[in-house]
Amino acid sequence: MALKKGQVVELDIINAAFKGKGLAKVDGLAVFVPNTTPGDKVKARIIKKKKKHREAKLLEILEPSPHRIEPKCRHASVCGGCSWQHIPYEKQLEYKTQQVRDHISRIGHLNDSIVKPGVGAEKEFYYRNKMEYSISSRRWLTEEEIQSDEYVDDSAFAAGLHAPGRFDKILNLKECHLQVPESFEILDFVRNYCIEHGITPYDTFEDSGFMRHVMIRNSHHTDDFMVNLVTYKDDQGIMNKMSEALLKEFQFITTVVNNVNDTKSPTAVGRFQHVLYGPGFIVDKIGDFTFKIHPNAFFQTNTAQAETLYEIARNYAELKDGDIVYDLYCGVGTLSLFMSKPAKHVLGIELVDVAVKNAKFNAKENGVENVSFIKGDMKDVFTQDVVNEYGAPNVLITDPPRAGMHPDVVERLCELKVPRIVYVSCNSSTMARDLKELNSVYEIEEVQPVDMFPQTYHIEAVAKLKLRD
């Protein structure tokens, strides 16, 4: 069967695969279908023809999998925020762990027995400490509206999340279960307030309008609650009235901020900002360390699971008194600080200038004096001169971006022969690629998947490496 584009086929979903899509096989050819789960029998239309696989759109569930459940949210099948709500959480964790095992064996050429069962999150919903909702004058139409023979107007004050793959269309949310329930209530209030008071949504094509984003942060360990209203224009008269209305309706809000992004960039980071109420930041903790989180600062999105991840990393590091620790790709220094006891010194290396400044600020705020941070591209900065200045590391932590480590960094690690390495990854495929190269010098003892994002296909992993004798 050639499986041409546009062809409608019946498929048996046999596994969970690429980006959480269900996997079917037709005469040995892989077909990926979103919104399915292993055990489903489905009708689907081929929408993309690739050399070695096909991609299809789900049309109908002919026979549901015994593992399929009713999603909690009405938007689950069309919203990109949490695409696995139709799968029970214990099965999500099983599929994610298998994904890591597959990468370790297929890409890393390692025995997948080193991969431990994934560590699940205590909260399956309402676990995020930050949500960034977008606002647009164009909403994403429902499947029924798309199939309608009559003209359907897509103009609206749409507030929610971007439709998958669309920068210009917003799924106008009626509910959301990723952050605490108050988060969606605030979004809904802002949407209704703007409609009632004639405050216009931003239009991407016309480059006009007023409201662009509603970004909400809440603290896991304190009662702090931030609302960051991102606008295209700077009008403090409008914003002060909106802030007053919010504070009257939601008395638990501790700070309100207005970021003004008057550029064409779609980011929620403003070119400048006004603090409308409160201190302009919230305070949260990871372990024993306290962090002031400003509107545009990076902070781990799932605080409780970040602590779990960091505990595993610290246990794998087997820190001893007098150890010198290098933390590559250190970000704002949260993991560096977490590793500072009982180490003699921790050196964090990071490319992003603002992250280095935040890391230094966080160390100072927490009174940690045995941590230093330097800025630079890892492949350029991680040199013998750095080793000469700060000492040879006994332990090295690396937490690279999704693309993994640069080949030069991997080569440098093989030359350095650090006794113990802990590799923290948000992409097990690139981690497996790097571990394959490191395996000639280091024994990969264990890999621990950690689920930071329930209801999605994403999975973090921590690998423990020890220098070979």
Residue among 34, 40, 43 nearest 9 (CA):
43
With beta carbons less than 8 A apart as the criterion, state whether 201 and 170 touch.
Answer: no
Q: Is 446 annotated as a binding residue?
A: no
Q: Is 330 a catalytic residue?
A: no
Let me know how long the chain is.
469
Q: Rounded to the nearest 5 degrees, what angle is found at the Cα of 278, between the Cα atoms of 276 and 280? A: 75
CA 42 to chain centre: 30
Residue among 358, 350, 355, 348 nearest 324 (CA):
348
Distances (CA, A) of 296 to 216, 256, 293: 11, 13, 8
With beta carbons less than 8 A apart as the criterion, state whether 451 and 305 touch.
Answer: yes
Q: Is 350 annotated as a binding residue?
A: yes
Q: Rounded to the nearest 5 degrees, what angle is found at the Cα of 65, between the Cα atoms of 60 and 69? A: 90
Q: Is 124 annotated as a binding residue?
A: no
User: To which residue do tokens 């977008």 refer?
Assistant: 134
Secondary structure (3-state) at 131: strand
Secondary structure (3-state) at 355: helix
Q: Is 399 annotated as a binding residue?
A: yes
Q: Residue 118 carries which side chain, given as an amino acid letter?
A: G
With beta carbons less than 8 A apart as the criterion, state whether 349 and 326 touch.
Answer: yes
Phi, psi of 417 (to 5 degrees): 55, 55
Catalytic residue among 73, 194, 414, 426: 426
CA 155 to chain centre: 30
Residue among 217, 236, 331, 337 nearest 281 (CA):
217
- Catalytic positions, written as ranges: 426
Binding residues for S-adenosyl-L-methionine: 300, 329, 350, 399
